[in-house]
Amino acid sequence: MGDFIPAKRCVEVSSGASLRIIRELQGLSQTQLAALCGIPQTTISSIENGRVNLGVERAKALAIALRCHPAVLVFPGWQVTQASAA
């Protein structure tokens, strides 16, 4: 079971799409997430739809509310090799 074949990425994911995926996986509406992080719901919608850039400070606030690392939101397509992760 130690040998594995990494999955191939089929779709490029944007920061906004990553935010939407994580939010939906946690069963949160945009309004609920807005209440948790203090970012207006309209801004969250704009980020998810690619009309507004995420930015580092927003990523930090959203990551705290979503209980994930900010890099998951800021760099959704980042590839880490096994050697560099060790």
CATH of the domain at 34: 1.10.260.40
Residue 22 lies inside a defined structural domain of this protein:
yes
2 belongs to a structural domain: no
Structural domain count of the chain = 1
How many angstroms separate the CA atoms of 30 and 39, rounded? 10
- Domain range for 36 is 15-77
pLDDT digits (tens, 9 = 90+) for 6-35: 767 667 789 999 999 999 999 999 999 999
* Token representation of residue 22: 């994580």
18, 73 contact by CB (below 8 A): yes
Whether 58 is covered by a domain: the verdict is yes
At residue 77, the pLDDT reads: 72
Q: What are the C-alpha distances in Å from 57 to residues 11, 72, 84?
A: 26, 14, 27
Of residues 68 and 10, which shows the higher confidence score?
68
Closest CA to 66 of 46, 84, 39, 86: 39
